[in-house]
């Protein structure tokens, strides 16, 4: 068992995805060569909304997590929504999601939103663990919900075939025994990659009244090669620093639950970490990259397949726009 610094325990997980979209359909519609998506993005199927919203997906995943934990919304002290996509600028996504939930109009919990794009779930997990050190906070509901499909265009085949929509949630509770919870969390921002992944338009710097819609301004732009270069440059030092003082190494961690960033990114993890590939949770082929929802969706997959056992450790790890690297080591009870 690892030394826990922020006691807490995961008591429930839930996931919700909209309609499935096969790569063959995308390739046929947009003139891509047959098999391009699997070969280059590693995605066979992803899920895209028809008319749902970020709040719709998130509220459904949240209810599933509550059911799994044997809890109700009235039992939740804090709701944290997490993600890089929102239904609107104001009010926060937390308010919109809570309003969609059964009993949301009677809820008395704190509610707020965090956005560190693909790392938002890890950030929210850390904040939830911090809040659970307050004896007045007993249960926190963390909801990561993302709709990527509305912000991608057909011109960039990489983003078109890589991204999916979906949501996942967890219920975190206090841990009286103190032997389960967060061992360590770290988040580093490297601003040399600030333009490597972005949607330039829609906010104050490029306000909607000043710029007519254009793919360059309002569709997601990603330089995959630059992101890979930044990862190869900064990842080794980040990992060495992260595990320093934890009393363990990456190869000793029971499970790695990474952000489902890309086929290439997932492929290098076993080599870097010196872990067996079957100890790295990979759902990219059937879900795609669901931004911040990717990590809790992968956690839900791990848990519901009865693979996560008491006493095991889990490393949540990923990269995000900015450019950032983040990780959280959790001791499961």
- 3-state secondary structure at position 88: coil
User: Does 1 reside within a domain?
Assistant: no
* Same domain membership, residue 155 and residue 194: no
- Residue 144 bridge partners (DSSP): 82, 168
Helices (H), the chain: 23-30, 36-40, 54-69, 93-100, 120-131, 157-162, 215-218, 224-243, 263-273, 284-287, 294-304
Tokens 């103190």 map to which residue? Answer: 178
* Same domain membership, residue 226 and residue 154: no
Q: How far is CA 276 from the centre of its chain?
A: 23
* Same domain membership, residue 246 and residue 115: no
* Same domain membership, residue 217 and residue 139: no
Residue 40: how many CA atoms within 13 Å on its side-chain side? 18
Note the pLDDT of residue 38.
96
Of 176, 211, 239, which one is at a domain's C-terminal end?
176
Note the pLDDT of residue 214.
80
Count of domains forming the chain: 2
Of 154, 176, 198, which one is at a domain's C-terminal end?
176
* Same domain membership, residue 218 and residue 171: no
Determine the structural domain holding residue 202 and report its residue range: 182-331
* Same domain membership, residue 109 and residue 225: no
Note the pLDDT of residue 192.
95
User: Does 214 reside within a domain?
Assistant: yes
* Same domain membership, residue 235 and residue 214: yes
pTM: 0.95
User: Does 2 reside within a domain?
Assistant: no
* Same domain membership, residue 44 and residue 157: yes
Note the pLDDT of residue 134.
97
User: 125: which 2 tokens?
Assistant: 């997990």
Say how far apart CA 118 and CA 30 lie, in whole Å. Answer: 27
Q: pLDDT 10s per residue in the chain (333 long)? A: 899 999 999 999 999 999 999 999 999 999 999 999 999 999 999 999 999 999 999 999 999 999 999 999 999 999 999 999 999 999 999 999 999 999 999 999 999 999 999 999 999 999 999 999 999 999 999 999 999 999 988 888 989 999 999 999 999 999 999 999 999 999 999 999 999 888 887 788 778 777 778 877 778 888 888 988 999 899 999 999 999 999 999 999 999 999 999 999 899 899 999 999 999 999 999 999 999 999 999 999 999 998 999 999 999 999 999 999 999 999 999
* Same domain membership, residue 169 and residue 190: no
> Any idea what the CATH number is for the domain that residue 160 is in?
3.40.47.10
* Same domain membership, residue 125 and residue 27: yes
* Same domain membership, residue 257 and residue 156: no
User: Does 157 reside within a domain?
Assistant: yes
Of 176, 200, 228, which one is at a domain's C-terminal end?
176
* Same domain membership, residue 189 and residue 299: yes
Residues sharing a CB contact under 8 Å with residue 147, sequence separation 6 or more, in sequence order: 49, 52, 53, 54, 57, 85, 165
Say how far apart CA 208 and CA 205 lie, in whole Å. Answer: 10
């Amino acid at each position: 068992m690892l030394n826990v610094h922020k006691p807490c325990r995961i008591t429930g997980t839930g996931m919700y995805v909209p309609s499935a979209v096969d790569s063959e359909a995308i390739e046929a519609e947009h003139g891509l060569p047959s098999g391009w998506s699997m070969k280059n993005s590693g995605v066979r199927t992803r899920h895209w909304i028809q008319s749902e919203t970020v709040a719709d997906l998130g509220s459904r995943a949240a209810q599933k997590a509550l059911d799994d934990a044997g809890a109700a919304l009235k039992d939740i002290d804090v709701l944290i929504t997490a993600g890089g996509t929102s239904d609107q600028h104001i009010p926060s996504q937390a308010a919109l999601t809570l309003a969609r939930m059964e009993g949301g109009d009677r809820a008395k919990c704190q509610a707020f939103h965090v956005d560190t794009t693909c790392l938002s779930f890890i950030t929210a997990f850390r904040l939830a663990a911090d809040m659970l050190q307050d004896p007045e906070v007993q249960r926190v509901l963390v909801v990561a919900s993302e709709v990527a499909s509305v912000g991608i265009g057909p011109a960039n085949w990489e983003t078109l075939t890589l991204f999916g929509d979906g949501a996942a949630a967890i219920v975190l509770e206090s841990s009286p025994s103190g032997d389960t919870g967060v061992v360590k969390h770290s988040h580093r921002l490297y601003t040399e990659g600030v333009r490597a992944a972005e949607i330039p338009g829609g906010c104050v710097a490029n306000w909607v009244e000043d710029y007519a819609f254009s793919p360059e301004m309002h569709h997601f732009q990603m330089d995959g090669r630059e992101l890979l270069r930044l990862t190869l440059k900064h990842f080794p030092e980040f990992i060495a620093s992260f595990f320093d003082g934890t009393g363990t190494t990456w190869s000793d961690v029971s499970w790695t639950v990474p952000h489902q960033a890309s086929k290439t990114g997932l492929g290098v993890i076993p080599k870097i970490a010196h872990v067996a590939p079957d100890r790295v949770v990979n759902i990219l082929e059937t879900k795609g990259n669901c931004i911040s929802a990717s990590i809790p969706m992968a956690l839900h997959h791990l848990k519901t397949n009865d693979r996560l056992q008491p006493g095991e450790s889990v490393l949540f790890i990923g990269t995000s726009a900015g450019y950032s690297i983040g990780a959280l080591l959790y001791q499961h009870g």
